[in-house]
Structure 1
């Protein structure tokens, strides 16, 4: 299938596909006129590459991982690198969850104001926009 079809089905731009080829992450055949032709499996491959990029893996790491995906085998070094990436992703997820929880508290406090959470309820002169009034 042609580059435009792969791009449409995988939800990426043709430019992204050309970049993946430059990085050695994806291959295509060339027609006599020089147009790229991809195998049907390219859509699934591009989806996997996108997932790796979304997870924060750089292209050089993805390049090392893809042969393991293809063969189901890999070196101990690659698996150690993958375990380190997984740990990094897990830590990032924990940080995002903590941020989400903080936002949930802010939203709750905004929807259910009380003197403990909203200083303005204690002192009508208090204003978060005028610091001089906050200390009166």
Structure 2
């Protein structure tokens, strides 16, 4: 499918698809006329990228967390299921998650303080 349809199907903009390609996160095929051709596995990868980015994971970690883009292609050099991510990467993602949890806890404490203030002010 061409880029406009891929954007519609995946729910990301054409610009985002081009950005993902520029960043090496996806590798769409090319038609004889040079137009991008997005297959279902590439759309699946776009959805995976989008989900990881939505979680707040930095682009650098998203790139490392996913297998090489060609491995997702039915014509790529896939030799079976992707290897497990390296322990160092998993530790870095876990540390990111822990920082996120600490930030959420701090925000919840601020919210509780504001709730208490509003409750006292109300009477």
- Shared fold by TM > 0.5? yes
Q: Which TM-score bucket, shorter chain as reference?
A: 0.7 to 0.9
Helix, strand or coil at the partner of 1:53: helix
Pairwise CA RMSD: 2.4
The number of equivalent residue pairs is: 111
- Max Rg structure: 1
Question: Which deviations, in whole Å up to 9, do the C-alpha atoms of 1:69-93 show, x marking residues without a partner?
Answer: x715122211111211221222232
- Structure 2 residue 88 is matched with structure 1 residue 77: yes
**Structure 2: 5+ residue runs without aligned partners?**
69-80
Q: Report the CA distance shift for 1:47/1:95 in structure 2 as closer, same or farther (over 3 A).
A: farther
Q: Distance in 1 between matches of 2:100 and 2:109?
A: 14
Q: Report the CA distance shift for 1:105/1:82 in structure 2 as closer, same or farther (over 3 A).
A: same
Higher relative contact order at CA 8 Å, sep ≥6: structure 1 or structure 2? Answer: 2
Question: After the TM superposition, which residues 43-54 of structure 1 pair with which residues of structure 2 at under 5 Å, given as runs?
Answer: 43-54=43-54
TM-score, length of structure 2 as denominator length = 0.74
Q: Distance in 1 between matches of 2:51 and 2:95?
A: 17
Q: Distance in 1 between matches of 2:117 and 2:6?
A: 43
Question: Which deviations, in whole Å up to 9, do the C-alpha atoms of 1:36-66 show, x marking residues without a partner?
Answer: 1111123332222122222222212111110
| Shift of residue 109, structure 1, vs aligned partner | 5.6
Give the corresponding residue for 1:29: 29
- Structure 2 residue 105 is matched with structure 1 residue 94: yes
**Structure 1: 5+ residue runs without aligned partners?**
115-136
